[in-house]
């Protein structure tokens, strides 16, 4: 499944590049000599006319370009239809070849590997002189690999290496090594992995050496594997990699009859890396060899492996037999009992540590575990508050004391005791001045008093918060809420004066923008009355280049259109080739290394930004553009005064055809949707978060499955479909629209539901039903607060850039 996913993602990248080229599909070198940015076109949806005049079918070359666009958008059906038409009806061999290669790509992305292999085979048999022949060989290798036709896949990768040597050898040898490995030819696999590790690339050499060592072992060269495992162990600090090495070494040593050395390797894993699952396998191996492992170590390894029943027995036995480290035993005993649902018994275990082992390094962790269990599992908020306050009283100078007191205030607020919450938060400023919790505590105390209707007290607290605030966001936040408190108390003139000050503190920052909205009488997310997404890219580019020459004292005749010295960079050549064959993640790594390499050079950053944006790698293009403005000494606010070209890239209207259509279908303003997509993914459709959210609008698989079921689309839905822009954008806008409907048009609440879940958003909405500003501060997830603020800031910038209101 993972292999198929990588293929699917990669095809988007190929198509994104292809759809920006001319009909003739100019060769790779053309991309290195031009940096033209395609003009986003806004095509409004109009009412159908009565009877359209008949038109002739599009020319095959145009249909090929249409297919490229469809492939980039993840519209498999349209892409296949258009490529097939271009292939069938074109008399130009270049168009026919490009269409045939496109068919191979789209079938590969759609996981129709038989059709993909057939199309690519037809290409290599009929277009042997085409410059894209090496790419076809590689893609054919991928298709055959997915079909488990390993010898044929090896042949495809080999023909790529023969026809295009010295560019991305490391990556192709890794792919061929995987094919050899799957075929069972471990010696050849080891050779390819070794050569891959030695070649220049952004690949992780540790990962490649691990593959090489495993191949040595399976090929029967166990001594070579042991030597390599020892080298890797000393080169890495990754605990999971070290645990795996210990396991592999132990298994080899057992086969060699070196039982004592094997036991030593297994014991290293279970003792030093108990959280790694491989350490559980090492534990099993030790027990099978009759090696004694103490109950505490066994229990910890079992706990991390999810073997909770066995772990609990080990901890109980350990604690009953004169334990050397009883505190650790009680701590993990408590964690295990909590997982098994024994919450009171878990608390009792942590109480043992709290009362008897105050000098132990897990003493503070025991307090935290107890408090968390009381409120999250036992629904005992008063008990949790008492626990946290008890910790502060017992150890007021502890490094976690201010954090525990702040969290106690959070729990008091959660249970509705705003008076107690305000008291605890305000106490932080007195007892723990200078800490982050003291500053945040003053603000939260102000919000609590505001919610209670005690506006003079909230005003004073916000004033104190302003006095201590250092960052622009904190200072504008303080002034904004000073104004809110004044306004609530009936002092409108003073409130407007405070908001005017707030508006000037942090231009482009959330609180300054909200203050400006209040001064102008705008409701949140008010769009411009008139806007225009059509951009004169060529004229804007010329203005930007004049600005560059003046700002950085360049020769007035300096050519900025191409890539200059970047064109010869090996990282760029590798990245472009990887992009062309669909290894997008690796291509991005190569490009990102190069982007960071030129970060101090405004001209090369500019040239690279053009190249990346034209290629379709929008995230990296946006970041390279920002580098130029940073080097010009511009901050977030002043950068909006830079030539329009830079801001049209940074706040682009990418995927505009789909977004505009969805905006009309779901009655959203398109600038809001562009803002959400930018916040979610920076327009990178192949990105996946650490939480598993995927694609342009970061849809998690569970939500995607629910939406697909409800919409009954797309057919045969799988999680990989979330990487298809046409699917992800539809799902994201549909889900956001449902949240907006749930919250009766409240976009703050809808966005909080999109990010933090509708159940949480409903709870927050009940606490601030009519005040979006108060709602934002009540949101209990910092990530969600930042999410809403971020989208608001981005939307305001989009409104500024594309506003055409007289």
Q: Which residues of 368-384 are buried (b: 16+ CB within 10 A; e: fewer)?
A: bbbbebbbeeeebbebb
User: Token pair for residue 593?
Assistant: 């290394």
Q: Could you report the per-residue pLDDT of 327-356, keeping only the tens digit for each?
A: 999 999 999 999 999 999 999 999 999 999
> How far is residue 63's CA from residue 60's CA, in Å, rounded to a whole number?
5
**CATH domain 656-802 topology:** Lysozyme (1.10.530)
β-bridge partners, 276: none
Beta bridge partner(s), residue 531: 803
pLDDT above 90 (res 752): yes
Whether 377 has a pLDDT exceeding 70, the answer reads yes
Vertex 206 angle, CA 203 and 208, to 5°: 60
- Token look-up 């290293």 returns 268
- pLDDT at 40 > cutoff 70: no
Superfamily of domain 325-520: Tetratricopeptide repeat domain (1.25.40.10)
Question: Hey, how many other C-beta atoms are within 10 angstroms of the C-beta on 716?
Answer: 8
3-state secondary structure of 20: coil
* Structure confidence by residue, pLDDT tens digits, 657-702: 999 999 999 999 999 999 999 999 999 998 899 889 999 999 999 9
Q: Write the pLDDT tens digit of every residue in 175-190.
A: 999 999 999 999 999 9
Six-digit token string for 160: 């790529």
Give the residue with greater pLDDT, 40 vs 269.
269
Side-chain half-sphere of 262: how many Cα atoms within 13 Å? 22
User: pLDDT-based confidence at 559, cuts 50/70/90?
Assistant: confident
Query: What does the radius of gyration of the chain's CA atoms come to, in whole angstroms?
Result: 31
Residues 53-75 pLDDT 10s: 444 567 888 999 999 999 989 99
- As given in the structure block, the two tokens for residue 217 are 């072992």
Query: Average pLDDT in the 516-527 region?
Result: 96
Domain limits, the chain: 1-25+59-165, 325-520, 537-650, 656-802
| The two structure tokens encoding residue 60 | 């095959």
- 803: helix, strand or coil: strand
pLDDT at 318 exceeding the cut of 90: yes
Query: Mean pLDDT lowest for which of 375-389, 561-575, 593-607?
Result: 561-575
**Alpha-helix runs per DSSP H in 598-634:** 602-615, 618-631
pLDDT-wise least confident of 299-313, 501-515, 553-567, 764-778: 553-567
Average pLDDT, the chain: 92
Mean pLDDT over residues 487-512, rounded?
97
State yes or no: pLDDT of 76 exceeds 50.
yes
Q: How far apart are CA 581 and CA 22, in angstroms?
A: 19
Confidence (pTM):
0.90
| Token reading at 774 | 């108060």
Q: Give the residue from 7, 35, 36 showing the smallest Cα distance to 104.
A: 7
Choice among 29-33, 128-132, 552-556 with the minimum mean pLDDT: 29-33
- pLDDT at residue 736 tops 90: yes
Same fold, 325-520 and 656-802: no
**Residues, the chain, total?**
806
pLDDT at 38 over 50: no
Structure token digits, residue 505: 């503190």
Tens digits of per-residue pLDDT, 603-617? 999 999 999 999 999
pLDDT at 586: 87
Q: How far apart are CA 176 and CA 184, in angstroms?
A: 12
The pLDDT tens digits for 472-486 are 999 999 999 999 999
In the predicted model, is pLDDT for residue 29 greater than 60?
no
Q: Where does the pLDDT of residue 581 fall: very low under 50, low under 70, confident under 90, or very high at 90 and above?
A: confident
User: What is the percentage of the chain residues whose pLDDT exceeds 90?
Assistant: 89
Residue 30 has pLDDT above 90, yes or no: no
Token duo for residue 747: 């976009």
Q: What is the pLDDT of residues 411-453, one digit of tens each?
A: 999 999 999 999 999 999 999 999 999 999 999 999 999 999 9
Residue range 1-25+59-165 forms a domain whose CATH class is mainly alpha
> What pLDDT, in 10s, does the model give residues 98-142?
999 999 999 999 999 999 999 999 999 999 999 999 999 999 999
């Amino acid at each position: 499944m993972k292999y198929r996913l990588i293929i699917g993602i990669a095809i988007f990248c190929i198509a994104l590049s292809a759809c920006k080229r001319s009909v003739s599909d100019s060769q790779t070198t053309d991309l290195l000599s031009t940096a033209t940015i395609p003009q986003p076109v806004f095509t409004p949806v109009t009412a159908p006319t009565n009877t359209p005049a008949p038109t002739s079918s599009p020319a095959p070359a145009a249909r090929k370009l249409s297919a490229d666009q469809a492939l980039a958008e993840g519209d498999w059906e349209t892409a296949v239809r258009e490529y097939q038409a271009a292939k069938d009806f074109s008399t130009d061999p270049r168009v026919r070849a490009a269409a045939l290669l496109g068919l191979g790509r789209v079938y590969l992305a759609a996981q129709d590997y038989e059709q993909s292999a057939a199309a690519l085979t037809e290409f290599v048999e009929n277009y042997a002189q085409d410059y894209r022949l090496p790419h076809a060989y590689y893609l054919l290798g991928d298709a055959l690999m997915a079909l488990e036709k390993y010898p044929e896949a090896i042949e495809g990768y080999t023909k790529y290496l023969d026809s295009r040597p010295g560019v991305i050898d490391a990556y192709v040898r890794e792919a061929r090594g995987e094919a050899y490995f799957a075929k069972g030819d471990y010696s050849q696999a080891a050779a390819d992995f070794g050569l891959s590790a030695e070649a220049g690339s952004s690949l992780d050499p540790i990962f490649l050496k691990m593959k090489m060592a495993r191949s040595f072992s399976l090929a029967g060269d166990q001594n070579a594997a042991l030597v390599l495992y020892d080298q890797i162990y000393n080169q890495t600090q990754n605990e999971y990699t070290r645990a795996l090495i210990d396991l592999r070494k132990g298994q080899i040593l057992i086969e060699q009859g070196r039982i004592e050395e094997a036991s030593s390797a297994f014991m290293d894993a279970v003792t030093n890396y108990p959280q790694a699952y491989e350490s559980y396998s090492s534990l099993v191996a030790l027990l099978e060899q009759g090696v004694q492992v103490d109950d505490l170590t066994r229990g910890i390894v079992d706990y991390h492996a999810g073997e909770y029943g066995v772990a609990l027995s080990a901890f109980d036995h350990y604690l009953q037999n004169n334990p050397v480290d009883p505190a650790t035993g009680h701590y993990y005993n408590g964690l295990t009992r909590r997982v098994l649902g024994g919450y009171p018994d878990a608390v009792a275990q942590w109480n043992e540590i709290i009362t008897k082992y105050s000098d132990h390094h897990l003493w503070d962790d025991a307090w935290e575990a107890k408090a968390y269990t009381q409120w999250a599992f036992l629904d005992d908020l008063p008990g949790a508050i008492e626990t946290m306050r008890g910790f502060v009283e017992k150890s007021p100078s502890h490094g976690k004391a201010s954090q525990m007191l702040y969290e106690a205030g959070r729990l008091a607020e959660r249970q509705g005791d705003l008076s107690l919450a305000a008291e605890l938060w305000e106490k932080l400023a007195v007892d723990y001045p200078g800490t982050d919790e003291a500053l945040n505590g003053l603000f939260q105390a102000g919000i609590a008093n505001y919610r209670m209707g005690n506006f003079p007290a909230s005003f004073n607290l916000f004033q104190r918060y302003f006095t201590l605030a250092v960052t622009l966001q904190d200072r504008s936040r303080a002034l904004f809420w000073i104004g809110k408190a004044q306004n609530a108390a009936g002092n409108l003139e003073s409130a407007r004066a405070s908001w005017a000050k707030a508006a000037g503190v942090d231009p482009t920052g959330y609180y300054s923008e909200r203050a400006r909205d209040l001064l102008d009488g705008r409701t949140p997310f008010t769009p411009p009355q008139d806007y225009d997404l059509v951009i004169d890219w060529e004229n804007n580019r010329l203005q930007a280049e004049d600005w560059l020459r003046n700002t950085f004292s360049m020769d007035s005749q300096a050519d900025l259109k191409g890539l200059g010295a970047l064109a010869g960079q090996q990282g760029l050549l590798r990245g472009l080739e990887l992009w062309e064959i669909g290894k997008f993640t690796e291509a991005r790594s190569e490009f990102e290394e190069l982007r960071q390499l030129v970060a101090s050079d405004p001209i090369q950053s500019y040239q690279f930004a053009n190249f990346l944006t034209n290629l379709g790698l929008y995230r990296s293009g946006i970041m390279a553009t920002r580098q130029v403005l940073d080097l010009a000494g511009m901050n977030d606010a002043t950068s909006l005064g830079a030539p329009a070209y830079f801001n049209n890239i940074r706040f682009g209207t990418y995927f505009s055809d789909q977004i505009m259509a969805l905006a009309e279908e779901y009655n959203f303003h398109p600038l809001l949707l562009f803002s959400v997509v930018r916040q979610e993914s920076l327009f990178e459709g192949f990105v996946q978060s650490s939480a598993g959210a995927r694609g342009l609008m970061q849809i998690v698989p569970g939500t995607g499955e629910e939406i697909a079921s409800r919409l009954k689309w797309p057919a045969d839905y799988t999680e990989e479909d979330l990487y298809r822009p046409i699917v992800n954008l539809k799902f994201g806008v549909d889900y956001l629209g449902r949240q907006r409907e749930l919250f009766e048009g409240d976009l703050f609440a809808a966005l909080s539901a999109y990010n933090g879940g509708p159940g949480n958003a409903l709870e927050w909405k009940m606490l601030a039903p009519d005040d979006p500003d108060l709602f934002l501060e009540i949101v209990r997830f910092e990530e969600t607060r930042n999410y809403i603020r971020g989208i608001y800031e981005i939307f305001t910038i989009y409104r500024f850039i594309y506003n055409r209101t007289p």
